[in-house]
Amino acid sequence: MRQTFHTSGPVLMGDQTNSQEFHLSLEQITQAPADCTLRYLDFHGTQAKLGVEYSGTAPFTRDGIKLSPAPEQAAPLQASWCVTLLSPSASLAQLQQLMRFFDGQQWTLVAADTLAQRPECTVIRFQIEGDLNFDRARLSCLRVADQLGADLVIQAAATQRVPALAGFDMDSTLIDAEVIDELAKITGIGDQVTAITQATMAGDMDFCESFKRRMALLKGFSEKRLAEIAQELPLKEGAYELLTALRALGCKTALLSGGFTYFAEFLRRERLPLDFTYANELKFAEGALTGEVVEPIIDGDRKRKLLTEIAEKLNISLERVVAMGDGANDIPMLNLGELGIAIHPKPKVRMQAPQAINLFGLDAALYLFGLNDRQIEKLG
């Protein structure tokens, strides 16, 4: 999973670092005057178990004990909503700010448990109750996430389960590239095509029209060169791990792309455990692209329609469907089923998607399915 920031906490060169667990009330946690690195939080009832690392003076006046081992599985759900903090540098100050945010929203913290407690990735799931409007709550969480330097995801507690079907965009989601832009760079028209792609993914240009314009610019591109490019496409961080885990959990997966079947099929055949692939057909003549398109073009609405059709074919209710993507043409399917997770999204998409992960790889979605690191490790 992607690490963006350094571990927080007042750890100084030459100072001894202490790792301890404190048993405290939520009020005592919020009133601690000193910051330190946060390892975990476990809260069920009246007191919380707080694992921290610090140097110098302890953040609390009471004595601490040895850190507890990570739990074998995530805690049972007790509330209507879950708010998940995914931090690359978790600190007590982050936790305090988040608890003040909950109070300000008049959300009651019912329980909390830690799904990941690694130095580069701390994931804490807060179970809350409150009379909330999801869209307003989602936008509020995004604002706080920016202040914290972390991801903060809200979802209905009922969606904290493994999906039965997951749909994925390809370019900049499963792979760390926009294929059509890579082809354009090779032909010397990279800047021109990239500008069209960026406008499209940001939602400033109709996808079908932009696709036709970009394809026309690629007329004459060699089919042989396509095969070489397919071998070089980098996978997005966490893509293989997520898809492998979903297969082990019995979830069906589908690639739904406004890109090309040539590359989608290569990924399914050679790189990723995918069950279904849908993308745009390339048209060739004498071993080169003609620049023409094969209708119908897979745009945002068609992605949503195809994912719906797969669910119907497999007799899967939309409540068990998850979608993941990054661009404006993914928004329709992101708003289709159980969860719609924007991965490293464009700003407009982040504001419109039900959920968003900006600082970690695709496999961070497993935490939103209610799994902790110990459970995820067993899937490998």
Q: Cα–Cα distance between 278 and 298 in angstroms, integer? A: 8
Q: Cα–Cα distance between 29 and 204 in angstroms, integer? A: 46
Could you tell me how far CA 42 lies from the centroid of its own chain?
23
Site of tokens 């099929």:
265
Dihedral sign for Cα 234, 239, 244, 250, please: negative
Q: Cα–Cα distance between 86 and 122 in angstroms, integer? A: 6
Q: Cα–Cα distance between 5 and 12 in angstroms, integer? A: 17
Partnered with residue 55 across adjacent β-strands are: 17
333: left (phi over 0), alpha (psi -120 to 50) or beta: alpha
Cβ(368)–Cβ(153) below 8 Å: yes
The token pair that represents 190 in the structure block: 């990279």
Read out DSSP for 163-176? Answer: -SEEEE--BTTTBS
User: CB burial class (10 A; 0-12, 13-18, 19+) of residue 8?
Assistant: buried
Q: Cα–Cα distance between 189 and 182 in angstroms, integer? A: 10
Dihedral sign for Cα 321, 323, 328, 329, please: negative
Q: Cα–Cα distance between 341 and 333 in angstroms, integer? A: 10
169 annotated active-site: yes
Q: Cα–Cα distance between 281 and 188 in angstroms, integer? A: 23
Catalytic pick among 35, 42, 151, 171: 171
Cβ(279)–Cβ(266) below 8 Å: no
The token pair that represents 22 in the structure block: 């404190």
Catalytic pick among 35, 42, 169, 363: 169
Residues tagged active-site = 169, 171
